[in-house]
Amino acid sequence: MHVLVINCSPVRTGATAEIVRIVSGSLSEHCQVRTVCIDDYSFQFCKGCRRCHQTAQCVLQDDIPAMIQEFEQADVIVAVSPSYWADVPGQFKAFIDRCTPWCNTHTPHASLSSGKRGYAIALRTGPGMPECEQILRTVSHFYGHMEIAYCGGLGLCAVEYKEQVEPHRAEIEAFCGKIRSAV
């Protein structure tokens, strides 16, 4: 089983990256795990031209096809996203926008191979769960249009710095146990 774990934050050394490290370590005993950071790729913003609605291809030339190839090679995708103003970071949202050629919202559209499962982990600095729930809804909505089955999410509050991840380790590892049991 191939698992892709995405750090949806452009910060490579923060709390989100620490959660990615824990998830990758927990899943690597049973699966082949690849981790990527949204900032590993260079891509442009969607121009809104809708050419992909007729051609199933984007007119822009950048790293989006490489990111889609990572999705294609994975059986399971785990998006780990911090809250940037109560939703996913702009970099990840820009990626989502650029996935329109692969979305089932128009015909023709490109597509990933079927049977992929998706999970999400959301984290935020404050104490309330609504921001995490919004992030999980965003990721679930994205997966739905990519025809990736959304299989669950985890929200973590009061996490701003990577040192604040450790108290949530058991919760993260239990969530990984659910992913492993579905494999």
pTM for the whole structure: 0.97
**Strands 149-156 and 2-7, bridge-based pairing:** unpaired
- pLDDT tens digit string along 30-69? 999 999 999 999 999 999 999 999 999 999 999 999 999 9
Burial environment of residue 85 by CB neighbours within 10 A (0 to 12, 13 to 18, 19 or more) = exposed
Cis peptide leading into 108, omega within 30 of 0?
yes
Four-way CATH pick for 2-182: 3.40.50.2000, 3.90.1200.10, 3.30.70.1400, 3.40.50.360 = 3.40.50.360
**pLDDT score of 143:** 98
Torsional sign, CA 12, 178, 134, 155: negative
**pLDDT score of 126:** 95
Ordered by start, the domain boundaries in the chain are 2-182
**pLDDT score of 132:** 98
**pLDDT score of 182:** 86
**pLDDT score of 102:** 97
Q: Which parts of the chain have pLDDT scores under 50? A: none
